[in-house]
Amino acid sequence: MNRLILPALLALLSSCSESKDGSDLPDQPDRWVNSFKIQDDSKARYVEKSGVISSSVKPLTGLQSVSVGDNIEGVKIGAIRCSFFSKDESYSGEQFMWRGRWGCMAGRDKNEIENAVQQDGNKLYDYIHVSPVSLQ
């Protein structure tokens, strides 16, 4: 039995990896912005509010920027919040945080952005998520 514990623990720990580029950067407060440009390595996604079983995530292509006033997949953008990544993080081989870059969430208004994702992962509102992003 003990021989099975070590391989299982190693598999679990290897599925989550942290930054290899050094120590974490200092945290920065979220920024509410009016627009941002999408870089070549950015991934834009439309996240649909949760239905009976789950929510769907649709990759978006062709976007060059996101601005307040835009209409993307039926979401009239009224507010954009960007959160800073102090370290690299990945899960199951897919990176979701980029050290020194930002992830931005665009939605109909500030209230929807602040309450879109519940602690249990349930999505109350549709929104657009783009990361990584470099802000000025």
Q: What is the mean predicted confidence (pLDDT) over 70-80?
A: 97
Asked whether residue 121 is domain-assigned, the answer is: yes
Q: What is the mean predicted confidence (pLDDT) over 75-101?
A: 81
Q: How many CA atoms lie within 13 A of 5 on its CB side?
A: 2
Q: Comparing 64 with 5, which gets the higher pLDDT?
A: 64
User: Domain total for the chain?
Assistant: 1
| Residue 33 clears pLDDT 60, i.e. is over it | yes
Asked whether residue 45 is domain-assigned, the answer is: yes
Asked whether residue 8 is domain-assigned, the answer is: no
Asked whether residue 54 is domain-assigned, the answer is: yes
Range among 39-43, 53-57, 89-93 rated most confident: 39-43
| Residue 10 clears pLDDT 50, i.e. is over it | no
Q: Where residue 86 falls among pLDDT bands split at 50, 70, 90?
A: confident
Asked whether residue 4 is domain-assigned, the answer is: no
**What pLDDT score was predicted for residue 95?**
61
- Domain encompassing residue 52: 17-133
Q: State percent of the chain over pLDDT 70.
A: 76
- Mean pLDDT of all residues belonging to the chain: 81
Asked whether residue 93 is domain-assigned, the answer is: yes
Asked whether residue 51 is domain-assigned, the answer is: yes
**What pLDDT score was predicted for residue 72?**
97
Asked whether residue 10 is domain-assigned, the answer is: no
Q: Where residue 88 falls among pLDDT bands split at 50, 70, 90?
A: low
